[in-house]
Amino acid sequence: MSGWQDTPTTAVLILRDGTRLEGQGIGATGLAAGEVCFNTAMTGYQEILTDPSYAGQIITFTFPHIGNVGTNDEDIETVNMAADSGIRGAVLRADITSPSNYRSAQHLDAWLKKRAIIGISGIDTRALTALIRDKGMADAVIAHAPDGRFDEAALKAALDAFPGLEGLDLAKDMATTQSYGWDQTRWTWGTGYGTLAEPKYHVVAIDYGSKRNILRSIAQEGARVTVLPATATAEDVLAQNPDGVFLSNGPGDPAATGEYAVPTIRGVIDAGKPVFGICLGHQLLGLALGGRTAKMHQGHHGANHPVKDLTTGKVEITSMNHGFAVDRDSLPAGVTETHVSLFDGSNAGIALEGKPVFSVQYHPEASPGPHDAHYLFKRFMDNVRIHKGEAATTE
């Protein structure tokens, strides 16, 4: 397979099966190996490219016009704005679109260079997406050389050395290494991000690679947040005397991260604290409650995934980003499936009967994506209120 433009090749993408795609390099130069996935979102490429859940992956954008709103310092999702998000590369159909947005501060190409992300354009992304749907997410190496000369031996060595995501714990690499507080709230038109002035509650967030807008969404509901590293113990969490505990999103294989995360989660549940998990946090909760997780064929990556809330019967359009899933057949008695994907029927939410503990596979904070699922943060905070002897404010 080759690029669709009749221009010199300055970048390549080589899959594990030998498939070679040639195109034009964008962003940083060099080479990197990772797992190729595709994302169907039409907006939010900057948030996607800074989402720590994509660590170890090369993202194929199915939407062709990438770059049209430029980049800025506000739409970064990694908690540390200067940190490497773990993204291994980006694949585009067309060359980067010139920015045309009042919030744009930098061209996407310059931004990619700054963040050391290698990209390739001029690729038939429809064909690549079809290949992933047929054969699954493939390991690959991406390289950008402005002179068009590639060290084939180095490319092969990098690909051979990439172990794949199954069995790989990446959460510790993407998470904070020290605790910190968070009180910034969601962005609003005309004012930007706000600050929680008078917090009513205190939530501890265990960071497995959290997105900034998740923390903002919790603060938006009136809770100051204390963020702890992925390796925090139950004693570390409970020492903060939280009103609730949040399990964040993150990258890698949940079974590997669960080696140290599951005992912590079980300790928090045993202490009776309200718990809410998202994405990797959902998978880790599933493991802590006695279930299993499994690698998906092509995963879910996009902002248009329909999910049914089985507790209300309502359908919401959601943002998803995951390559592993909770195996519903492995869930023990007392653990209820609360949400299900209407694309493929896979599990999208669970709850522990009789306790204020629940999680969802998708991203209710969106960023990018629809706001249909914002109610889940209110549901979590209602669990906190009830646990403190207060009245719920919703549902």
Cβ–Cβ < 8 Å for 323, 357: no
Q: How does pLDDT run across 86-141, given as a tens digit for each residue?
A: 999 999 999 999 999 999 999 999 999 999 999 999 999 999 999 999 999 999 99
- Residues 312 and 304: their CA atoms lie apart, in Å, by 20
- Which one has a higher pLDDT value, 4 or 191? 191
Q: State which H helix or E strand residue 172 sits in.
A: helix 171-174
pLDDT at 68: 96
Query: The whole model's pTM is what?
Result: 0.96
pLDDT band at residue 2 under the 50/70/90 scheme = very low
Instruction: Establish whether 37 is a catalytic residue.
Output: no
Mean pLDDT of 28-42: 98
Which residues have a Cβ under 8 Å from the Cβ of 231 and sit 6 or more positions away?
172, 175, 260
pLDDT at 84: 63
Mean pLDDT of 8-17: 97
Instruction: Tell me what percent of the residues of the chain surpass a pLDDT of 70.
Output: 97
Domains of the chain: 11-161 (3.50.30.20), 171-387 (3.40.50.880)
Please tell me the least confidently modeled range out of 7-21, 44-58, 77-91, 220-234.
Answer: 77-91
Instruction: Tell me what percent of the residues of the chain surpass a pLDDT of 90.
Output: 95
- Residues 66 and 90: their CA atoms lie apart, in Å, by 11
Mean pLDDT of 382-391: 96
| pLDDT reading at 388 higher than 70 | yes
Q: How does pLDDT run across 250-279, given as a tens digit for each residue?
A: 999 999 999 999 999 999 999 999 999 999
Residue indicated by tokens 């020290």: 178
Q: Which of 77, 279, 300, 301 is catalytic?
A: 279
Structure tokens at 2: 């080759």
Instruction: Establish whether 387 is a catalytic residue.
Output: no
Instruction: Establish whether 305 is a catalytic residue.
Output: no
Mean pLDDT of 362-381: 96
Mean pLDDT of 353-365: 98
Q: State which H helix or E strand residue 281 sits in.
A: helix 280-288
| pLDDT reading at 66 higher than 70 | yes
Sign of the Cα pseudo-torsion (286, 287, 290, 296, in order): positive
| pLDDT reading at 24 higher than 50 | yes
Please state at what angle helix 375-387 crosses helix 212-220, rounded to 10 degrees.
Answer: 50
| pLDDT reading at 243 higher than 50 | yes
Please tell me the least confidently modeled range out of 1-10, 230-239, 259-268.
Answer: 1-10
Mean pLDDT of 4-12: 82
pLDDT band at residue 81 under the 50/70/90 scheme = very low
Mean pLDDT of 325-346: 98
Q: Which of 47, 77, 316, 365 is catalytic?
A: 365
Mean pLDDT of 222-238: 98
